Amino acid sequence: MSERVYEFDKSELEELKKVLSYDPYLDTSLIPPAPKGSDKPADKQTPEEKKELEEHDKKVAETHKFLAEDPKGKYIFSRQQYEIKDGASIGAAPNLSFLYLNATDDFLGGAEMRFKSEFKTIKRADKSSEEKIINAIKEEQERANVGFGSIFGN
């Protein structure tokens, strides 16, 4: 796993949050829920239920195939560790925000391609900002772990 930090203009914050939280495999407009009767054993399903389930399974398989080839299906940020930090909180320009992303190198390469194609201002942060953000996040995690330890008596 690698850690990277990206900086971007706050004007793109809301759109970035949508991209970061979206998982196409959970989107019922792409992958519909299983039809009624699909929880029954096959020998208890009516012919109509069986046909409806077969059509559903075919649609799901087609959608999975499409998503496996689409960058939006390959690079799902909601399944990665990420955090957004306000620029002012680390002494940077108040119109900037920072995205901390902890993922595999393969994922990060694809993520950068998505960033370039979908956002105007996002770019890799300079070394100094990257170190500040990573250290701040690690300190927050350590404080949270200490807090959980005191809750559970460790």
Q: What is the mean pLDDT, run by run of 10 residues, along the chain of 154 residues?
A: 96 97 94 90 92 95 93 91 92 93 95 94 95 92 76 63
- Burial class of 99 by CB neighbour count within 10 A (0 to 12, 13 to 18, 19+): buried
CATH architecture of the domain 2-22+80-151 equals: 2-Layer Sandwich (3.30)
Three-state DSSP class for residue 4: strand
- Give me the sign of the Cα torsion angle 47, 48, 53, 54: positive
Find, among 64, 70, 79, 83, the residue nearest to 110 by Cα: 70
pLDDT per position as a tens digit, 142-151: 888 877 666 6
What's the half-sphere exposure (Cβ side, CA atoms, 13 Å) at 128?
Answer: 4
3-state secondary structure of 100: strand
Distance CA 38, CA 20 (A): 32
